[in-house]
Homo-oligomer: A and B are copies of this chain.
């Protein structure tokens, strides 16, 4: 009961903050972001020391390496977060956006004006840079942020959210523009998912279990996303070295995140030339391969102990680690069917020199981001030019793929008349 009362108080404060944020000038909102970016450098030690405590506690609790990697902040990642805030800051003010203007035959002047959604609830796990990304995106777009991070990162997240909140206040915006739930009581998540009077949108960022729970329980609209079962289809007509380099990057550059590659589908005509080279590259980083029967036959002669037969559950699995599955297919159709059956609508890439194959892949793969001859790792708000992202949506409603500033807004229709009435 006490928890609920506290959350409701936070919710009311968030509503008030959202109303003021929606009316605040773009200059004031930008000022808050500039202060956040500066504070991430100026108050670096304070944040890193909070993160060190979280990291040590997690390690003592036996957290695995992928988890510890996601939790970790260092000077580099903090500088990256500050650069992310500056990237968001440099974007045009989404609330200055007026679009779809027209004058109707009766003289009514109609247009749409972009408006904030209101209060954005975000429930996330480990990665603490999310705190600052979301604070920046919300404040810039005139939304209040209502955050609940993972309990293992509570010190880091509180430090970052406190910093963002103080920067908002210093810019003349409500302190409650950014709020974080500091209690680590697990019942909180359920309470938050019921707060439809206070939260206009719920964004889960975390593993499949969290995403499923939010989709099932959230009383407000919720984004589904963050679960990326990512495929690369290597066509028969392909630059083998390019396809090795892309699949290597997609798997190895940061295996713990949702846009990392999970499954390679390779055309049988190129598989004997391609797979051994890929396996050799991957083996340098210790990637474990789960291979179908035909891939196993090909790799059996060249690869070492890092290759195992794939089990049925390897298809459609998000590894989040240095593991990947490989399957040999005989046609583009087989690859498309595999992706339709096992993909999560997140990110898929085709590696081919055949324009017709690329075009079909782009048209028929029903995913948020579809790439040609490029790494799946580019499904990312920063990489795609949004500054940063609040989530990567696999929904088709509202927003799909990386959600930046514009995706945190709605619009209102405005019609300016001179006494028009309807017949």
Contacts and interface: CB of A to CB of B under 8 A. Distances in A.
Contacts of A412: 366-370, 400-401
A245 interface: yes
A415 B367 contact: no
A197 interface: no
Given A221-B221, A362-B414, A422-B375, A384 B104 contact: yes
- What is the predominant secondary structure among interface residues of chain A facing chain B? mixed
A343 to B, nearest CB: 13
Contacts of A248: 421
Contacts of A363: 23
A126 interface: no
A283 interface: no
Contacts of A369: 412-415
A221 B104 CA distance: 32
B414 A373 contact: no
Interface string A409-423: 011111111111111
Given A373-B418, A419-B242, A422-B375, A117 B396 contact: yes
Contacts of A384: 104, 110, 413, 415
Given A242-B419, A385-B102, A413 B200 contact: no
B422 A378 contact: yes
Contact of A415 (B102, B371, B410, B419): B371
A423 B76 CA distance: 14
A420 B374 contact: yes
B366 A419 contact: no
A13 to B, nearest CB: 18
A23 to B, nearest CB: 7
Nearest to A107: B374
A23 B363 CA distance: 8
Given A412-B367, A414-B362, A414-B370, A420 B375 contact: yes
A378 B242 CA distance: 56
A383 interface: yes
A72 interface: no
A245 B416 CA distance: 16
A341 B397 CA distance: 28
A201 B411 contact: no
Interface string A100-119: 00101000101001010110
Interface in A359-397: 362-364, 366-375, 377-380, 383-385, 395-397
A117 B413 contact: no
Contacts of A246: 419-421
Interface string A330-354: 0000000000000000000000000
A110 B418 CA distance: 43
A191 interface: no
23 contacts: A102-B385, A104-B384, A104-B385, A115-B396, A117-B396, A200-B397, A221-B221, A246-B421, A253-B423, A368-B413, A369-B415, A371-B417, A372-B417, A373-B417, A373-B418, A375-B421, A378-B417, A379-B413, A380-B422, A383-B422, A396-B410, A397-B410, A400-B412
Given A23-B363, A108-B378, A373-B420, 18 more contacts: A104-B384, A115-B396, A118-B396, A242-B419, A246-B421, A249-B422, A253-B422, A253-B423, A362-B414, A368-B412, A368-B413, A370-B415, A371-B415, A372-B415, A373-B417, A373-B418, A375-B421, A400-B412
The 9 closest A-B pairs by CB, nearest first: A374-B417, A249-B421, A396-B410, A377-B422, A242-B419, A398-B398, A369-B413, A374-B420, A401-B413
